[in-house]
């Protein structure tokens, strides 16, 4: 291969060329000059080839360093991605457990809220029942008070009638006594028959009035005793009704307090349930974000693995050899023959 046809990198200088001259027409001096020129040209080409080889070695070394750095980065990324998997799995498991606990808490709060609502409804029914009993007790107390008033009025009337009967009885007793004295006196004085008959008739009338008034007094006393019994019974019933009313009022106050507590408990449970549901929604969103991060990490891991496979395949392929050494060998190989011919 002639020097004019060589290829490869050069130092930027144009190679010197000599016109082809026949060796038979050249003198030894010309041959030595030609040999020297060829030798200089070979040295120049060798230097250029060495420079190109050094540049290729430097590029190969840089390429190897970059590959090693890339491998280290890919290895670090792979290790980081492998670390993501258990963290993502652990976080996902923690979120699942937390969601399960939250669901249990929500069910418990819902059950407590239902029980509190039922208890509140029962208390409201009891409260309504107590109010009805209070109304009935008030009506009964009013009736008993009216009955006691009527009995006291009847008792007062009976006492007045008894006093009048006592006065009449005393008057009849006096008349009977006077009539008996008159009869005795008339018997003693041997009065006339007409006076005796009149006195006997007056005595009989007085006795009849005495018997009638005695019977009326007995009836009045019996009625008075019955009125007193009914009054005492009505008073006792009124006291019982009043005590029942007091107990109902106390029970109504306690029921009202319990109803207020039940309402407060229900409101508190409703707030807790709403907060738990909000927290559950937040946990679900956080779980979804964790799953998205895990999927993104898995995608990045797969991408890094593909890049690592491509880099590994590229590193395993040998570098293409430069064409300079073969050309230099083809140029420099016949030189010793030419020099020896000289």
Residue 10 lies in a domain: no
C-alpha dist (Å) from residue 69 to 63, 73, 219, 269, 312: 10, 6, 132, 60, 12
Q: How confident is the model over 53-99, as pLDDT tens digits? A: 888 888 888 878 877 887 787 777 767 767 766 766 677 777 778 87
Q: How many domains does the chain have?
A: 1
With b for 16 or more beta-carbon neighbours within 10 A and e for fewer, the 44-68 pattern comes to bbeebbeebeeebeeeeeeeeeeee
pTM, full prediction: 0.37
With b for 16 or more beta-carbon neighbours within 10 A and e for fewer, the 91-112 pattern comes to beeebeeebeebeeebeebeeb
**Tell me, what's the pLDDT at 325?**
44
Q: How confident is the model over 106-137, as pLDDT tens digits? A: 888 888 888 888 887 887 787 787 778 777 77
Q: How confident is the model over 255-300, as pLDDT tens digits? A: 778 778 878 888 888 888 888 888 888 888 887 887 788 788 778 8
Residue 160 lies in a domain: yes
What CATH number has the domain bearing residue 320? 1.10.287.950
Q: Which structural domain range is residue 221 located in?
A: 28-341
Residue 66 lies in a domain: yes
Residue 9 lies in a domain: no
Angle of CA points 206, 212, 215, to nearest 5°: 140
């Amino acid at each position: 291969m002639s020097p004019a046809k060589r290829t490869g990198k050069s130092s930027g200088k144009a190679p010197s060329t000599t016109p082809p001259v026949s060796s038979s027409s050249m003198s030894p001096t010309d041959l030595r000059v030609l040999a020297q020129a060829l030798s200089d040209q070979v040295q120049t080409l060798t230097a250029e080839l060495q420079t190109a080889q050094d540049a290729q070695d430097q590029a190969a070394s840089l390429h190897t360093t970059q590959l090693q750095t890339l491998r280290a980065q890919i290895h670090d990324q792979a290790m980081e991605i492998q670390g993501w998997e258990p963290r993502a799995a652990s976080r996902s498991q923690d979120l699942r457990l937390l969601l399960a606990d939250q669901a249990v808490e929500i069910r418990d709060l819902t059950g407590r809220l239902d029980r509190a609502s039922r208890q509140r409804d029962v208390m409201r029914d009891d409260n309504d029942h107590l109010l009805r009993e209070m109304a009935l007790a008030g009506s009964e107390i009013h009736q008993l008070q009216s009955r006691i008033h009527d009995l006291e009025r009847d008792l007062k009337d009976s006492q007045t009638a008894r006093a009048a009967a006592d006065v009449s009885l005393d008057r009849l007793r006096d008349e009977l006594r006077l009539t008996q004295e008159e009869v005795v006196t008339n018997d003693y004085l041997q009065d006339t028959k007409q006076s005796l008959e009149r006195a006997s008739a007056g005595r009989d009338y007085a006795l009849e009035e005495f018997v009638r008034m005695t019977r009326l007094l007995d009836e009045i006393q019996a009625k008075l005793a019955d009125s007193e019994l009914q009054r005492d019974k009505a008073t006792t019933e009124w006291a019982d009704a009043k005590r029942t009313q007091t107990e109902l009022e106390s029970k109504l106050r306690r029921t009202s307090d319990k109803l207020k507590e039940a309402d407060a408990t229900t409101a508190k449970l409703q707030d807790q349930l709403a907060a738990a549901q909000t927290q559950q929604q937040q946990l679900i969103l956080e779980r979804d974000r964790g799953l998205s991060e895990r999927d993104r990490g898995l995608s990045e891991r797969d991408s890094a693995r593909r890049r690592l496979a491509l880099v590994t395949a590229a590193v395993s392929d040998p570098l293409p050899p430069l064409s300079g050494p073969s050309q230099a060998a083809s140029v420099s190989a016949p030189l010793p023959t030419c020099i020896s011919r000289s």
